[in-house]
Amino acid sequence: MLTALSIRDVVLIEALDLDFGAGLGVLTGETGAGKSILLDALGLALGGRGDSGLVRHGAGQAVVTASFDPPDASLSALLDGNGVEVEPGEPLLVRRVVKADGGSRAFINNQPASATLLREIAPRLVEIHGQHDDRGLLAARGHRALLDAFGRCDPSEVARAWIAYRTAEADLATARAEIETAARDREWLEHTVAELDKLNPLPGEEETLADQRRTMQRAEKIAGDLAAIGDFLDGSDGGLAQLRQAARVLERVAEDHPALADALAAIDRAVAESGVAEERLHEARLALAYDPRTLEDDEARLFELRAMARKHRVQPDGLATLAAELTARLERLDAGEGGIAKLEKTVATARAAYDKAATALTARRVAAATGLDAAVAGELAPLKLDAARFRTVVATQSPDGWSGAGKDRVEFEISTNPGAPFAPLTKIASGGELSRFILALKVALADQGGAATMVFDEIDRGVGGAVASAIGERLARLARATQLLVVTHSPQVAARGAAHLLIAKSSDGTVTRTGVRQLCEAERREEIARMLSGATVTDEARAQADRLLETA
Please spell the DSSP secondary structure of 110-179, one letter per residue: TEEE-HHHHHHHHHHHEEEE-TT--SGGG-GGGHHHHHHHHHT---HHHHHHHHHHHHHHHHHHHHHHHH
Q: Which amino acid is at 535?
A: A
Total residue length of the chain: 552
Distances (CA, A) of 271 to 45, 233, 247, 281: 107, 11, 9, 15
| Complete edge-to-edge strand list for the sheet that includes strand 126-129 | 126-129, 453-457, 483-487, 24-28, 499-507, 512-518
pLDDT for res 64? 95
pLDDT for res 134? 45
Spell out the residues 6+ positions from residue 13 whose beta carbon is closer than 8 angstroms to its own. Answer: 7, 34, 37, 38, 41, 56, 513, 514, 515
d(CA 107, CA 294): 82
- Count of Cβ atoms closer than 10 Å to residue 232 Cβ: 11
Q: Which of 458, 474, 451 is nearest to 378 (CA)?
A: 474
pLDDT for res 279? 75
pLDDT for res 3? 93
Is beta strand 2-10 parallel, antiparallel or unpaired with respect to 13-19?
Answer: antiparallel
Q: Which of 552, 488, 491, 496 is nearest to 527 (CA)?
A: 491
For 432-483, give the DSSP string: HHHHHHHHHHHHHTGGG---SEEEEESTTTT--HHHHHHHHHHHHHHTTTSE
Sign of CA dihedral 137, 141, 142, 144: positive
pLDDT for res 132? 47
Angle, in degrees to the nearest 10, between helices 465-478 and 431-444: 40
Q: How far apart are the first and last CA of the chain?
A: 23
Contact assessment for residue 92 and residue 65, using Cβ atoms and an 8 Å cutoff: no
d(CA 129, CA 456): 5
pLDDT tens, per residue, the chain with 552 residues:
999 999 999 988 889 999 999 999 999 888 776 777 888 899 899 988 888 888 998 899 999 999 999 998 889 989 998 989 888 889 999 999 999 988 899 999 999 999 889 988 988 898 887 654 545 577 788 899 889 988 999 999 999 999 999 999 999 998 888 777 777 777 888 888 899 999 998 888 888 888 877 777 676 666 666 666 666 666 556 666 677 777 777 777 777 778 877 777 877 787 777 777 777 777 766 666 666 787 788 888 889 888 998 998 999 888 999 999 888 878 777 777 677 888 999 999 999 999 999 999 999 999 999 999 999 998 888 888 888 899 999 999 999 999 999 999 999 998 888 888 898 876 765 666 777 788 888 888 876 666 788 888 877 777 778 888 888 888 888 888 889 999 888 999 999 999 999 988 887 777 888 888 899 999 999 999 998 887 788 888 899 988 988 887
Burial class (CB in 10 A: 0-12, 13-18, 19+), 168: buried
The model's pTM is: 0.61
Is beta strand 499-507 parallel, antiparallel or unpaired with respect to 512-518?
Answer: antiparallel
pLDDT for res 458? 79
pLDDT for res 354? 97
Burial class (CB in 10 A: 0-12, 13-18, 19+), 518: middle
Contact assessment for residue 240 and residue 234, using Cβ atoms and an 8 Å cutoff: yes
- Count of Cβ atoms closer than 10 Å to residue 31 Cβ: 6
CB burial readout 260-290, b (16+ within 10 A) else e: eeebbeebeebeeebeeeeeeeeeebeebeb
DSSP label of 59: -
Burial class (CB in 10 A: 0-12, 13-18, 19+), 59: middle
Burial class (CB in 10 A: 0-12, 13-18, 19+), 68: buried
Backbone φ, ψ for residue 296 (5° rounding): -65, -40
d(CA 453, CA 483): 5
pLDDT for res 105? 93
Spell out the residues 6+ positions from residue 458 whose beta carbon is closer than 8 angstroms to its own. Answer: 130, 131, 431, 435, 487, 488, 489
Distances (CA, A) of 35 to 279, 374, 404, 406, 509: 115, 35, 43, 43, 21
pLDDT for res 293? 80
Contact assessment for residue 126 and residue 46, using Cβ atoms and an 8 Å cutoff: yes
